[in-house]
C-alpha cells in the first residue's frame, strides 16, 4: 500500500499546527477573554466563534471542532483503501467521548461539563454528542446510542445503572473492550505499523486496568478486564498480576513487561497516576512515530504521526484553556504540553 502522496499532504497539514511558542503564549493569557483573543490571533478560532465564546465550555467545543475539521481533511486525502488508519483513531476518540459522557452522568454534571474534551467524529457528530450529554440515566444514554446505530448502545444496554466507582469501572472496561475489538479488526489489513499501534494501545489499556485493580471489587472479573490483542501483557501474565496485592509490586512488574515497548519507561515514574497514563503515553508515542517517519518516510508513519498530533494539539489547547480559567501556574501548564 502506497502512502507517499498522502504523507506529503499530511506533512503540509502539520505546518498548520500551533507551535510551541504559540502554546506558551496562550499559557500566559491573563483570563478567558485574553485566551480567546490569542487563539484568534493564532488562527485557531474563526471570528464568529470568538464573538460567541462567552464561556470556557464554548471555547472547549470550538477546539473539538478544530480537531474534527483537521481529521476530516486528512480523511479526504486518505481515500477508502487507507482509511483504516483514520478509523482506528476515530475508534479511540469515540471511546474517550463516551468515557467522558459516562463520568459526567455518574457525577451528575451539566451537559456542558460532560462535553468537555470531546471531539466530534463521523459516528458521534457534535449534534449527537449534545443530545447524549443530556441523558438522565445510563438507559437513556444507551438508547440514544442505539438510535445512532452506534455499537456502544448495545454494550451499555446490558449493564446496570452505575452507582459507584466499581460500576463505572466496569462500564468503562466494556467500552474499552468494544474499542479494542473493533480497532484490532480494522488494523488487520492496514499494515504492520497500524497493527503495532493498536497492539500498543491494548497493552496500555491492560496496564490501566491492572493499575485500577484495587477498585474492581465484586463488579469486575479478570476475564472481563483482560483484552486480547496486545503484545506485552498476555492473559497468563495479566492473571498473575491481577492477584498481586501490593500495588507497588504490581506496578513494578507491569513496567518490566512494558519495558521493550515505546512506553516502557512510563510506569517507572511512581508519581504517574493511572488516569494520566494514556495522556502521557501520547507524547511518548508521538516521539516514537517521529523516529519511524524519519527512518521510513514512504511508509504509514508520517500520516499516523499527523493523526496523533491532531489529537495531541486538541489536548494541549484544552489543557491550557482550563489552566488559564482556573489560574494554574504557567510553568506547570507548559510542563504538561504534549504536541509541540
Look at residue 52 in the predicted model and tell me its pLDDT. Answer: 62
Look at residue 270 in the predicted model and tell me its pLDDT. Answer: 77
Q: pLDDT tens across 100-149, in order? A: 999 999 999 999 999 999 999 999 999 999 999 999 999 999 999 999 99
Q: For the residues 199-206, what does the mean pLDDT come to?
A: 95
Distance (Å, whole) CA 301 – CA 172: 30
Q: Name the residue among 321, 337, 339 with its Cα closest to residue 58.
A: 321
Q: Name the residue among 56, 18, 30, 42 with its Cα closest to residue 322.
A: 56
DSSP per residue, 43-107: T-S-HHHHHH--SHHHHHHHHHHHHHHHHHHHHHHHHHHHTHHHHHHHHHHHHHHHHHHHHHHHH
Percent of the chain with pLDDT over 70: 98
DSSP per residue, 114-158: HTTT----SSS-HHHHHHHTT-SSHHHHHHHHHHTT-THHHHHHT
- What single-letter DSSP state applies at residue 170? H
Q: For the residues 17-44, what does the mean pLDDT come to?
A: 93
- Give the pLDDT band of residue 51 (cuts 50, 70, 90): low
- Phi first, then psi, for residue 216 (nearest 5°) are -65, -45
For the record, the C-alpha cell of 97 comes out as 467521548
Look at residue 33 in the predicted model and tell me its pLDDT. Answer: 92
- What single-letter DSSP state applies at residue 34? H
Percent of the chain with pLDDT over 90: 75
How many C-alpha atoms does 260 have within 13 Å on its Cβ side? 6
Q: Mean pLDDT of all residues in the chain?
A: 91
By residue count, the chain amounts to: 340
- Predicted TM-score (pTM) of the model is 0.92
Residue 24 has pLDDT above 90, yes or no: yes
- Domain ranges for the chain, please list them: 4-335
Q: pLDDT tens across 228-265, in order? A: 999 999 999 999 999 999 999 999 999 999 988 888 88
Q: pLDDT tens across 260-297, in order? A: 888 888 887 777 777 777 788 999 999 999 999 999 99
Amino acid at each position: 500500500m502506497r502512502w507517499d502522496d498522502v504523507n506529503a499532504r499530511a506533512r503540509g497539514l502539520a505546518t498548520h499546527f500551533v507551535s510551541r511558542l504559540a502554546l506558551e503564549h496562550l499559557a500566559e493569557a491573563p483570563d478567558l477573554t485574553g485566551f480567546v483573543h490569542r487563539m484568534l490571533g493564532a488562527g485557531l478560532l474563526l471570528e464568529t466563534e470568538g464573538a460567541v465564546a462567552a464561556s470556557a465550555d464554548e471555547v472547549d467545543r470550538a477546539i473539538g471542532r478544530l480537531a474534527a475539521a483537521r481529521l476530516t481533511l486528512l480523511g479526504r486525502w486518505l481515500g477508502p483503501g487507507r482509511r483504516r488508519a483514520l478509523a482506528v483513531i476515530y475508534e479511540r476518540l469515540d471511546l474517550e467521548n463516551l468515557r467522558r459522557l459516562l463520568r459526567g452522568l455518574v457525577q451528575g454534571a451539566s451537559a456542558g461539563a460532560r462535553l468537555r474534551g470531546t471531539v466530534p467524529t463521523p459516528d458521534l457528530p457534535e449534534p449527537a454528542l449534545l443530545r447524549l450529554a443530556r441523558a438522565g440515566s445510563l438507559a437513556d444514554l444507551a438508547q440514544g446510542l442505539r438510535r445512532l446505530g452506534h455499537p456502544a448502545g448495545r454494550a451499555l444496554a446490558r449493564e446496570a445503572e452505575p452507582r459507584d466507582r466499581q460500576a463505572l469501572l466496569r462500564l468503562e472496561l466494556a467500552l474499552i473492550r468494544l474499542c479494542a475489538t473493533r480497532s484490532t479488526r480494522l488494523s488487520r489489513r492496514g499494515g504492520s505499523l497500524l497493527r503495532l499501534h493498536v497492539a500498543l494501545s491494548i497493552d496500555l489499556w491492560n496496564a490501566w486496568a491492572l493499575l485500577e485493580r484495587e477498585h474492581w471489587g465484586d463488579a469486575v472479573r479478570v476475564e472481563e478486564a483482560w483484552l486480547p490483542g496486545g503484545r506485552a501483557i498476555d492473559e497468563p501474565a495479566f492473571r498473575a498480576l491481577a492477584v498481586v496485592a501490593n500495588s507497588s509490586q504490581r506496578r513494578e512488574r507491569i513496567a518490566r513487561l512494558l519495558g521493550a515497548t515505546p512506553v516502557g519507561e512510563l510506569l517507572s515514574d511512581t508519581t504517574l497516576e493511572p488516569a494520566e497514563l494514556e495522556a502521557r503515553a501520547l507524547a511518548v508515542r508521538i516521539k516514537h512515530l517521529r523516529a519511524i517517519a524519519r527512518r521510513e518516510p514512504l511508509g504509514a508513519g508520517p500520516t499516523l504521526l499527523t493523526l496523533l498530533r491532531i489529537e495531541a494539539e486538541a489536548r494541549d489547547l484544552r489543557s491550557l484553556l482550563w489552566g488559564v480559567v482556573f489560574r494554574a501556574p504557567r510553568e506547570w501548564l507548559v510542563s504538561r504540553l504534549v504536541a509541540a
